[in-house]
Amino acid sequence: MTHQAVVEIKNLSAGYGHHQVLQQLDLTLRHGEALGIAGQNGAGKTTLFKIILGLLKPQKGRVSVLGKTPDSAQTRRLMRRQIGYVPQLQTPGKMPVCVHDAVMMGRWGKGFGFFRRPTEDDRRKVSEILHEVGISHKHWQEVNLLSGGEQQKVSIGRALIREAPILLMDEPTTYLDHGSQAEIIELIKTIRLKHELSLIMISHDPEHLEAMSDRILLLKNGRLEER
């Protein structure tokens, strides 16, 4: 494992209008590292993810993802292609979307797009990923009929199929029952090693972060500090 930095943030200040959420924040994620970030609700964990994803501009400081800085819309789009994102589990809408199609959407811009239909390779990738996350038997089931744990596996599958080297996970075990939490923790540990992913996970559950992370930082008063 190399020690090259894949995400580097220096002296970052960020927020919304006059409300500053992050201040003088430093963060380094190295290749193959699983970094856990703990903090209370409202501490700025989601704001930090928006900065890394290029969805929010820093007020001050420097952000680098795989050596690139998000100084143009095109660069921000290219950077986002290198990042898989697993959002916090939410109740799926009522629109009937099957598991296959929900995961396939992760290939958008990577395989198919506005003028390119999904290829045989895209469909094969979906099947491989569904097998890997353990829901291949639910291939054509509607997502809104799945359990919470299964829905989270769909989200992980959608992030994995991007074949991105960096994975951001927002409260991956929250709102799941105890059995599903244990299953998701083991799945994250397995896919991280198999795909040599660099992970950042945010959670308010220190035990879950301990189980999934090499290193844990606490986000407090707009800054990251060692726990």
What does each C-alpha distance from 120 to 100, 111, 127 come to in angstroms? 13, 10, 11
Domain co-membership, 60 together with 5: yes
Angle in degrees, CA 38, 23, 167, rounded to 5: 45
Among the three residues 118, 140, 163, which one is the final residue of a domain in this structure?
163
Q: What is the CATH number of the domain that holds 1?
A: 3.40.50.300
pLDDT at position 226: 86
> Which residue from 138, 132, 129, 134 is spatially nearest to 180, judged by alpha carbons?
134
Is 183 inside a domain boundary? no
Domain that holds residue 61: 1-82+165-176+196-227
pLDDT at position 140: 95
What is the rounded CA–CA span in Å between residue 139 and residue 26? 42
pLDDT at position 186: 97
Is 190 inside a domain boundary? no
Instruction: Please check whether residue 136 is in contact with residue 49, taking contact to mean a CB–CB distance below 8 angstroms.
Output: no
Is 100 inside a domain boundary? yes
Is 117 inside a domain boundary? yes
User: Which residues in the chain show pLDDT less than 50?
Assistant: 1
What is the rounded CA–CA span in Å between residue 152 and residue 173? 8
pLDDT at position 1: 46
pLDDT at position 59: 94
Please state the domain count of the chain. Answer: 2
Domain co-membership, 156 together with 210: no
